[in-house]
Chains A and B, each alone.
Chain A
Amino acid sequence: MPGAEPAGDAAEPVDTAAVADLAEAARRHGASLWRFAVSRLGDPHEAEDVVQETFVRAQRSLEGWRGEASLRTWLHSICRNVCVDRLRARRTVVVPLDQVREARLGHRGDAAGQVADRDALRRALAELDEDAKDAVVLVDVLGFSGVEAAAVCDVPPTTLRSRLHRAHQHLITALEEGDHR
């Protein structure tokens, strides 16, 4: 899948040495965490701050962590909580216009059909509620398994699967409607 993150230690048993080495974890999972955060917040600068805060929190909580989930899952779970806290603190979301403009200008080189598809998907992705979007980003973008994504979102795997299915249906509908326009 193009653009997807490598699975990393998704299926590996817990490695306590790796846990102690948060710097190595940052190297391995930093980019994935940033993508997750930016998909949530829409602001690249704030995403950097969120990833930083994720590791500060991880550092504080390291002693209490019992390794029930993989390190990657645990870090993404913390990152999600940080994002939720940030979104709660926001009253009004302001998306820098430069960013909007860049996003639009970024497609100039694409074929018209692809641009239409991407625009339709981008709009549909933005319309998803946060839970459904998390499911799509974790599974389709970052390469998490359904069980891992469920652990990040703190929901049963069946719930995650249902969210993912709902999200896919929404995106498919958007793409099909885009084709018919």
Chain B
Amino acid sequence: MRVVETLAVSAEVRTDRVRAVYESDHARLWRSLYAFTSSRVIADDAVAEAFAQALRRGEEIRDVQAWVWRAAYAIARGELKRGRSDGPLPEVWVDDQPEGVADVMNRLAAMSDGDRELLVLCHVGGWKPGELGRVTGVPAGVIRVRLHRATRRARDLLGTEVG
């Protein structure tokens, strides 16, 4: 596959590259991570650390958007593992959420991390299935297979149509 590179430029312009992704992606990245982890603390830290790493690595990163998403999710996955040792996600309280969010998150928490991750990447993060390969590093065909399965399981678990 051919890869078209991004021009290498100064630290200021590198910051601009990251800032541009921050402006365009921060909100949906944070929301999707919150949906994935049920934790504002983890979402805050994963997002901030991923963007910080992107700033630090500068030209080393050629696709800032994809890198930040992947790094943020890797951070969040690691923290989830450390925090609960495969136990359940913390229950989300209804009173600090927009209507319906807490219920959805509590139901999502019953799913596997892999299924939940794909679902929130698509339905909260706004990524199309065909785009997820860029974010996850997994071949697009494999993503579609996994998403298809996750959606089927979510339908059973959530008792509603997903996607």
Q: Say whether A associates with B.
A: no
